[in-house]
């Protein structure tokens, strides 16, 4: 009995309202799709997937290889000798190009006798298909890169059409991820030592 003399009445809790099973299932699917889309766009803002379409980078890259490209590489850092980069071509072509960085801003590039020299230092380039059969000499302007294909004699690159503006660079190629038997990282540390001297 309560203080005021009334007798407490036992009350039943209201039954919890449940969603229909189809609605719960639909909401879970919707949440999963939204999360997947968010992850996709977050990853897409950092990484690009590119399919190699030509032979200019053989033997390093084959036509049909799929590669991952770091789109933040040069927003957070600087290009280096030997980087394999993707860029919008200066000649206005629709398809993006993939080449190797050979000369940085301020470098003097010379190609003669089948060899490449940066500031007078010969590059050690075990990755090329064959020595270049052409000559070239020029200075890389500020804000630009000098690039060549690894398949030197079958590549349209800086020795033909000039320098790549840094703002045209999409990113740095990181790894070949397809086909599975050709998975590899894309690094060339020896070119850095060679270009800067012993």
Residue 155 known to be catalytic? no
115 and 131 Cβ atoms separated by less than 8 Å = yes
CA distance 73 to 79: 8
Side-chain half-sphere exposure of 143, counting CA atoms within 13 A:
3
Task: Name residues whose C-beta falls within 8 Å of residue 9's C-beta, 6 or more positions apart in sequence.
Answer: none
The Cα–Cα gap between 125 and 138 comes to 20
Q: Which of the residues 99, 155, 158, 172 is marked catalytic?
A: 99
Indicate which residue of 24, 56, 75, 168 is catalytic. 56
Structure tokens at 99: 């080449």
Q: Is 172 part of the annotated catalytic residue set?
A: no
| Catalytic residue annotation | 56, 99
């Amino acid at each position: 009995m309560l203080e005021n003399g009334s007798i407490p009445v036992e009350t039943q809790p209201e039954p919890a309202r449940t969603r229909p099973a189809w609605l719960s299932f639909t909401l879970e699917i919707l949440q999963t799709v939204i999360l997947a889309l968010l992850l996709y766009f977050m990853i897409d803002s950092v990484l690009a997937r590119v399919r190699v379409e030509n032979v200019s980078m053989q033997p390093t890259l084959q036509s049909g290889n799929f590669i991952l490209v770091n789109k933040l590489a040069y927003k957070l850092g600087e290009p280096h000798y030997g980087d394999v980069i993707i860029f919008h071509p200066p000649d206005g072509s629709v398809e993006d190009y993939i080449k190797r960085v050979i000369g940085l801003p301020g470098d003097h590039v010379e190609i003669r006798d089948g060899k490449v020299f940066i500031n007078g230092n010969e590059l050690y380039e075990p990755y090329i298909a064959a020595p270049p059969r052409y000559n070239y000499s020029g200075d890389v302007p500020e804000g630009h890169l000098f690039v060549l294909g690894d398949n030197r004699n079958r590549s349209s690159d800086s020795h033909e059409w000039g320098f790549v503006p840094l703002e045209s660079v999409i990113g740095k190629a990181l790894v070949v991820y397809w086909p599975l038997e050709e998975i590899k990282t894309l690094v060339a540390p020896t070119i850095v030592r060679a270009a800067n001297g012993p």
